Amino acid sequence: MRLPGQEPEGIVRVPGTVIRMDSNREGAWQTLESDGDTAKYRVAYVIGSGAHASGYIISLANHLFQSPVAYYRRRAAYGLAPGYENKPDPDFTRPVEPGCLFCHADSFTAVSGTENEYAATPFQHLSISCSRCHGPIDAHLRHASSTNIVNPARLEPAARDSVCEQCHLKGLARVLNPGKKLTDFVAGQPLEQTFTIYRYAVPIGTEPPFKVISQSEELALSRCKRASGDRMWCGTCHDPHNEPQDPVSYYRARCLSCHADTHFASDHPPRTSDCIGCHMPKRKPNDGGHTVFTDHRIQRTNHDTPAAEPTGIVPWRDPPAELAKRNLGMASIEAGIEGGSEGEVESGYRTLTEVQDQFPLDSEMYWTIGYVLYLRRQYGEAATNYELAVRFDPNSSPKEASLGSAYAALGRSEVAEMYLERALDLDPLNLSAAELLIGLYEKNGRPEKAEAVRQKIQDLIH
Ligand code: HEC
Ligand code: HEC
Ligand code: HEC
Ligand code: HEC
Ligand code: HEC
Ligand code: HEC
């Protein structure tokens, strides 16, 4: 992450909406015009070095929201950001959650019980720095010694690979262990002490689709990695401290460090050729994205394998045995909701409810179960689970709002209003709670209360 500089000027037009970008001495600005209304936002932070793309973040009353546009360097133009392409009315209301910052910023302070509120100074460091790969640095700064700092290359393989996977393996879902937050992870440990990454399993002999932020998954499919095992990792080819001056010869040397004795067919190009040009080409990922990425599958021939139908959801590495079913159930539900697969949601629900008695105080679990019941329109049972979610995590605005939504669906407006009001007490910029509450007030003939909620939000963001 970085602070905005002189960001390029530009304009993005979609039906009904125009977004203009301009910079002046006071900062970088993005102006949204929609239905005759105009709103001008100052860019607070920029995501990405700009190597491929830049994403933009605005800050309103210490709440971070995403901009619907991104700048694409190859096209030298702005376009809709990933995830906004097929959505009507792009605007600045999508919360920036900690998951996003965990991969893109060094360290930050989130306000608990909110989706996207942060401390007044949200970041200690913007760009990713030493401690994210080398673990805690305080003792090392007081007395520099190789015994009080993590050297990723010398860790056991699961912990070593975790250092890069924390950011370079997005997976289908990242499921936190009970009571953990992402930032509890410190380099030196395996990720599974804090969270488990899930991915699709595909039939043997086929390959999953080529995706964004999936270098770890791809490398694991390569013949090189399968035949070399733990000897090979990201650090075999990448030195995070230095970008190679001449990538072709730099990576060729990495290949030949293992392939010096490989017997090539007589028609194979010589050992002085551009290995990566043929074996690690750049491709467009199948899951959207407007740029190309390097194919880490290191295939024999340069062709794209057709995507296979997944056969199930599996952990990248196993979590502690006692959490295996709980985490798998949560992952399956999350992936199912994200990808619109009822089958995955239902199978996750069955897995989770099988073990739920083992986690009687697990607020996240009740919240997830509640959400599935809500989707099934079993609003009474959804409310029961949301009550438990709120009981074991008493000051969470999003959870109070969920409880409010279940009562609203049950037609119990008064109780619903009470929980939604509480959600807004805990976080006045919980926009989805505000929208629901405004709807209820209007439906129940209290437009003045609806107007007061609207006014409060306007006061906060201006
Ligand atoms: C805290 C998150 C984080 C960690 C940890 C991390 N990376 Fe990255 N890495 C990123 C992000 C974000 C980018 C994209 C930066 C950009 O161009 O905006 C990136 C970019 C890269 C690039 C591309 C650089 C370029 O010039 O295009 C390589 C290679 C890379 N990382 C390797 C690694 C390796 C190897 C590790 C483990 C030792 C690692 N990273 C750990 C977040 C991380
Ligand atoms: C699991 C970690 C992870 C998460 C979560 C994540 N990103 Fe990224 N993102 C990356 C990495 C790593 C790259 C660099 C591309 C690559 O290595 O394939 C990247 C690339 C980008 C880029 C292009 C920057 C560049 O220079 O390449 C933007 C913009 C971006 N992400 C925005 C976001 C936003 C906004 C969110 C949250 C809604 C988000 N990302 C969530 C890891 C993540
Ligand atoms: C993206 C991950 C990443 C970041 C960020 C990072 N390093 Fe490293 N660092 C590594 C890896 C991986 C190695 C091991 C390289 C090897 O030996 O193959 C390493 C090795 C080192 C070494 C050599 C250690 C030894 O025993 O030989 C030093 C010194 C070092 N890093 C300092 C720093 C400093 C200072 C910073 C912050 C300015 C930093 N690193 C940031 C990943 C990172
Ligand atoms: C850590 C060692 C290592 C590194 C580094 C490495 N490879 Fe390999 N690679 C192997 C091994 C081992 C095999 C399997 C050889 C065998 O089966 O006889 C292999 C197999 C291959 C194959 C055959 C793939 C197939 O599907 O049959 C290709 C192509 C290949 N490597 C290219 C490369 C290129 C290009 C690079 C550099 C970008 C590279 N390798 C780096 C160890 C490595
Ligand atoms: C066999 C060598 C090799 C290994 C091992 C390897 N990479 Fe790469 N990686 C490359 C090459 C080659 C490029 C393209 C560099 C270029 O074009 O300058 C690349 C590019 C990248 C980039 C830039 C974005 C992109 O996709 O083009 C990222 C990020 C990255 N690698 C991350 C990783 C991570 C994380 C791992 C470990 C899971 C890893 N790499 C393992 C060779 C390797
Ligand atoms: C012009 C494209 C091209 C370049 C450049 C290239 N290769 Fe290949 N390579 C191929 C093709 C095609 C095959 C598969 C040949 C076959 O299946 O008969 C192959 C096969 C291989 C194999 C598998 C050998 C075997 O028979 O098991 C390895 C390993 C390999 N290449 C490594 C490298 C390395 C290392 C470099 C760089 C010094 C390199 N290649 C440069 C196209 C290329």
pLDDT tens string 423-459: 999 999 999 999 999 999 999 999 999 999 999 999 9
Q: Do the domain assignments include residue 135?
A: no
Whether pTM exceeds 0.85: yes
Mean pLDDT of 311-331: 96
- Extended strands (E) in 288-431: 293-294, 312-315
Residue 421: pLDDT band by 50, 70, 90 thresholds? very high
Mean pLDDT of 159-164: 98
**289 and 377 belong to one structural domain:** no
Query: How close is the Cα of 39 to the center of ligand 2, in Å?
Result: 26
Q: Is 265 in the pocket of ligand 6 (CB under 6 A)?
A: yes
pLDDT value for 205: 65
- Of 125, 140, 172, which closes a domain? 125
Residue 147 falls inside a structural domain: no
pLDDT at 224: 96
Q: Mean pLDDT, to the nearest integer, of 281-300? A: 79
Q: Is residue 449 one of the residues assigned to a domain?
A: yes
- State the average pLDDT over residues 275-279: 95
Three-state secondary structure call for residue 346: helix
Query: What are the C-alpha distances in Å from 182 to residues 166, 219, 391?
Result: 9, 24, 22
Predicted local confidence at residue 302, as pLDDT = 66
Hey, what amino acid is at 23? S
Predicted local distance difference test score (pLDDT) of residue 303: 66
Dist. CA 139–CA 144, nearest whole Å: 8
Distance of CA 7 to the CA centre of its chain: 24
pLDDT more than 90, % of the chain: 84
- Asked whether residue 202 is assigned to any structural domain, the reply reads no
Are residues 304 and 381 part of one domain? no
Query: Is 427 a domain residue?
Result: yes
Residue 299 resides in a domain: yes
Domain match, 296 and 370 both = no
Query: How confident is residue 190, by pLDDT bands cut at 50, 70 and 90?
Result: very high
Q: Is the pLDDT of residue 310 over 80?
A: no
Q: Which residue has the tokens 């209820």?
A: 440
> How far is Cα 226 from Cα 389, in angstroms, rounded to an integer?
43
Same domain for 299 and 225: yes
Tell me how far apart the alpha carbons of residues 430 and 401 are, in angstroms, rounded to a whole number: 9
CATH number at residue 448: 1.25.40.10
**Which whole number is the average pLDDT over 328-356?**
96
Q: Which residue's CA is minimally distant from atom 12 of ligand 1?
A: 104
Strands 37-42 and 45-47, bridge-based pairing? unpaired
Same domain, 305 and 403: no
> Which atom of ligand 5 lies closest to the CA of 165?
35
Asked whether residue 288 carries a pLDDT value surpassing 60, the answer given is no
Quickly state the pLDDT bin for 266 (edges 50, 70, 90).
very high
71 is a domain residue = yes
User: Which atom of ligand 5 lies at the shortest distance from residue 243's CA?
Assistant: 18
Residues 120 and 14 in one domain: yes
Q: How confident is the model at residue 287 (pLDDT cuts 50, 70, 90)?
A: low
Sequence-ordered list of residues with C-beta below 8 angstroms from that of 186, at least 6 positions apart, any chain: 135, 136
Report d(CA 370, CA 378) in Å as an integer.
9
Question: Tens digit of pLDDT for each residue in 87-133?
Answer: 888 999 999 999 999 999 999 999 999 999 999 999 999 999 999 99
Residues 367 and 293 placed together within one structural domain of the fold: no
Using the atom order of ligand 5, give the atom closest to the CA of residue 219.
Answer: 38
What residues line ligand 5, using a CB cutoff of 6 Å?
164, 168, 215-216, 219, 234, 236-238, 247, 251, 254, 276, 280, 293-294, 296
Per-residue pLDDT, 82 = 86
Structural domain boundaries enclosing 69? 10-125
Looking at the structure of the chain, the number of domains it has is: 3
**Could you please report the per-residue DSSP string of 172-234?**
SEEEEPTT--GGG--BTB-GGGTEEEEEEE--TT-BPPP-SSBHHHHHHHSHHHHHHGGG--H
Tokens of 297: 């599958």
Which residues neighbour 307 within 8 Å (Cβ) at sequence distance 6 or greater? 207, 208, 209, 210, 286
Ranges 204-213, 319-328, 414-423: which has the least confidence: 204-213
φ/ψ bin of 273: left (φ > 0), alpha (ψ from -120 to 50), beta (otherwise)? beta
Euclidean distance between CA atoms 386 and 148, whole angstroms: 44
In a domain, 45, yes or no: yes
Residues 299 and 370 in one domain: no
pLDDT, the chain, mean: 93
Q: Across residues 416-427, what is the average pLDDT?
A: 98
Last residue of a domain, one of 125, 150, 165: 125
Domain termination residue (choose one: 109, 125, 141):
125
Please give the average per-residue pLDDT across 263-289, as a whole number.
87
